Structure 1
Amino acid sequence: MNQNGFRHILSLSGGKDSAALAIYLRDRIPDMEYVFHDTGKELPETYEYLGRLEAILGKEIHKSTVENGDFIGFDQLLKVYGGMLPSSHRRWCTRMMKLRPFERFIGSGKCYNYVGLRADEDRTGYISSKPNIIPIYPFKEDGLVRGDIVNILEESGLGMPPYTEWGRTRSGCFFCFYQQKIEWVRLKETYPDLFEQAKAYEKPGKKATTTFYWCGNEPLAELEKPERMEQIKREHELVKARKKANSANKSLMNILGGVDDYESNEGCLICQL
């Protein structure tokens, strides 16, 4: 806590931007506190990545979802919501497993909340509207873009999150509804057990005839059919080819900053930065 009574808080998602921000600010703000909102449904690589980051920072990362010795994760909350899976229209997962634990961790005291939005991103996000939590955007203020973030991670020895090696673009739960369909295919191929767990959640909610799916109206049981998976792969390659052909229309910032053409800006900031 600094002299004006403010705490310094950096919320980690397990993604590249928040990890790079933690490294970027490590020596600039020695009293920084780090917090990770564990849903209990993260990818194995996320926990391993955070463990390595913890060693680089030389500080413990607080796990905010454990309260009074009890773990409050996705399965517990799904029962409260009657089996209704979260979606882009009903993001109770973000509210209950990310935002609420974050605000509980901070309490009523004043704090600066450091957020890893980059200078090459044109988006805002729902983090917290509490007046005692003041957001700070160091990457935006200092003009850092994606290429800079990759350099920070590589130079520190941490590197990019391991799940990017098999094609996942975001941190967060392994069944995140913001995933692209190609990412579901890659999850099926890389972690068939986790895919099966995600599929098992797709069933009618309590006192309802509606069946909730992760991918809009397409059940994972349909998506995993070999012919459908091949179709998704073909369509993904066509999209990549079109974007590559249109690369001459990139903005100057994209060219200089090394922005990933296939990086989606959809998602919850507190989950995926």
Structure 2
Amino acid sequence: MSKKQVRHILGLSGGKDSTALAVLLHKEIPSLEYFFCDTHKELPETYEYLKRIEARLGIKIKYLEARRGFDHWLDVYGGVLPSPKMRWCTKQMKIIPLEDFVGDDEAISYIGIRADENREGYISTKPNIKPVFPFKERGLVKADIIRLLEESGIGLPDYYRWRSRSGCFFCFFQRKYEWVMLAQEHPDLFAEAVKYEQEHKDGRNYTWTEGETLLELLARKNEIIAQHEKAMAREKKTAPNRLLAEVLAAVLDEDDELPCLICHL
């Protein structure tokens, strides 16, 4: 009996780095399998970007779904909203679907961590999934990623105008400015995030951002935007020729709290 072939997999998040990795590898590895862990809580721009990737590269992305939806798991975890200290959403809606997708097959997982990043992203604890970092191996940095996306015709996702990362629309790693802009760009999704805060059957208070509710945050909209614009102006002075998306990412990533990169690459 012949040995089963090793699978080659690449997880797309709807962000720039994993997309650039698909651009880099789609011709080099014809057997590469592309997947997206779909929480059904993504931004519309994310789904639009995934379709653009498929069309430009001529590939098919497999959408992986959790065994049960977000609301089910929210109930299982007692109504406690996911947070940096309790990332149950990542486990139940990203990691488990990925590991179910691979099963017991030997697989090489290509991960879009750049050479200028000091982090590893999600690495499966399953011994049959081997992580590989092509950008690190080839010394590719952020400028190379932007170039790959521009040359491919895919470009950057539209949400990069106001948000620095992919992920669920209510992701707890969003900065306050991003929450304000979510209310402006997608008021229906902001309202849904507010609803999750307010409607808890035990009457306990959970918030997406530490120290204040989304409605309290939105009441400070003008103050938050003004602070953001000052920070953007300072950052632009340091490198006037950078893309707006790069300046935005630099401003929004000033703190030390790093997201789980299975969502945000």
TM score, norm. by length of structure 2 = 0.89
Q: Deviations over 1:212-247 (max 9, x none)?
A: 10011210111111xx111111222333345456x4
Equivalence for 2:88:
92
Contact 1:168/1:183 (<8 A) preserved: yes
Matched residues in 1 for 2:69 and 2:59: separation?
Answer: 24
CA RMSD of aligned residues (A): 2.1
Question: Which residue of 178, 197, 204 corresponds with 2:192?
Answer: 197
Matched residues in 2 for 1:263 and 1:128: separation?
Answer: 28
Equivalence for 2:218:
224
Contact 1:82/1:206 (<8 A) preserved: no
Matched residues in 2 for 1:210 and 1:197: separation?
Answer: 18
Aligned ranges 1:18-33 → 2 under 5 Å: 18-33=18-33
Contact 1:83/1:204 (<8 A) preserved: no
Q: Deviations over 1:36-74 (max 9, x none)?
A: 00000100010011011112232221111066xxxx332
Contact 2:66/2:96 (<8 A) preserved: no
Matched residues in 1 for 2:93 and 2:200: separation?
Answer: 20
Aligned ranges 1:1-273 → 2 under 5 Å: 5-65=5-65, 72-165=68-161, 167-203=162-198, 205-207=200-202, 209-225=203-219, 228-243=220-235, 247=238, 261-262=250-251, 264=253, 266-273=258-265
Matched residues in 1 for 2:62 and 2:40: separation?
Answer: 15
Shift of 1:206: 4.6
Contact 1:82/1:205 (<8 A) preserved: no
Matched residues in 2 for 1:140 and 1:109: separation?
Answer: 25
SS in 1 for 2:250: coil
The aligned amino acid for 1:210 is: R
> Structure 1 residues 127 and 204, CA, compared in 2 at 3 Å: closer, same or farther?
farther
The aligned amino acid for 2:138 is: D
Contact 2:115/2:141 (<8 A) preserved: yes
Structure 1: gaps spanning 5 or more residues: 249-253
Contact 2:39/2:66 (<8 A) preserved: no
Matched residues in 1 for 2:44 and 2:199: separation?
Answer: 28
Matched residues in 1 for 2:184 and 2:123: separation?
Answer: 33
Matched residues in 1 for 2:91 and 2:145: separation?
Answer: 27
Structure 2: gaps spanning 5 or more residues: none
Equivalence for 1:251:
none
Contact 1:127/1:269 (<8 A) preserved: no
Contact 1:38/1:73 (<8 A) preserved: no
Matched residues in 2 for 1:38 and 1:48: separation?
Answer: 13
Matched residues in 1 for 2:84 and 2:143: separation?
Answer: 29
Give me the identity figure in percent: 53
